[in-house]
Amino acid sequence: MKKAIIIGASSGIGRELALILSEEGYTVGLAARRLHLLEELKNSLSGPSFNKEIDLCDPTSSMNLIEELIAEMGGADLIIIAAGVGSINPDLDWAAERETIDTNVTGFAAAANVAFLHFTRIGRGHLVGISSIAAIRGGRQAPAYNASKAFVSNYLEGLRNRAVKAGAPIAVTDIQPGFVDTKMLKVKRPFWVSSPREAARQIHRAIERKARRAYITKRWVLVAWLFKILPASLYARL
């Protein structure tokens, strides 16, 4: 039986991915800060699962706990890092910026490090990180968020290049969603908003084909293209 770990499984995209993977026959490891939500999710799964309370804001503890979860499950074939935070921060409040950096940068790198080294030891595996369309350019309303997601995408690319150089069959997938209807969505007038279920379905398809990068939903590739070619002087006025 295939085994997957989802870090950030308590809500949103992570929760929906857990349901889908369980339906697909995976043994699922559920990790998040809110253990009671993981217990509720466990009761909704169609197959076996393991729960672990993990807070990426504490990287040393989270690394140890992820390793414990991998050991308890007898290994993992797929590890998805879906945990993340973000907030609109027009006042540039440092507490909000710091939380974003601690979770999305330090915490993400710690989790990805454990996952990649596990796959290196067993000689195979698939690492998936949930980045964002915001990774493409800086954002004045949430500077730390955009920057942190750029870190996620670049860190994943670095790990992918390591696997290629080593000739190891380790897939690394960078998921860049646009607007998804979760608590993370704080934009006043969002467009092309996807449900968490539809986003998870498309992410699952990207995982199945071992895509290097996937925009969720697919139409967001148009926004990504526009962001990449838009002159800085015009982008700053958006």
For the whole prediction, is pTM greater than 0.85? Answer: yes
Contact 181, 195 (CB under 8 A): yes
- Span 75-92, average pLDDT: 94
| pLDDT tens profile 19-39 | 999 999 999 999 999 999 999
Contact 152, 158 (CB under 8 A): no
The torsion angles phi and psi of 57, rounded to 5 degrees, stand at -65, -15
Residues with catalytic annotation? 145
Strands (E), the chain: 3-7, 27-32, 49-53, 78-81, 125-130, 170-177, 213-216
| pLDDT tens profile 2-19 | 999 999 999 999 999 999
Both tokens of residue 174?
């960078």
| pLDDT tens profile 47-70 | 999 999 999 999 999 999 999 999
Q: Which domains, ranges and CATH numbers included, belong to the chain?
A: 3-235 (3.40.50.720)
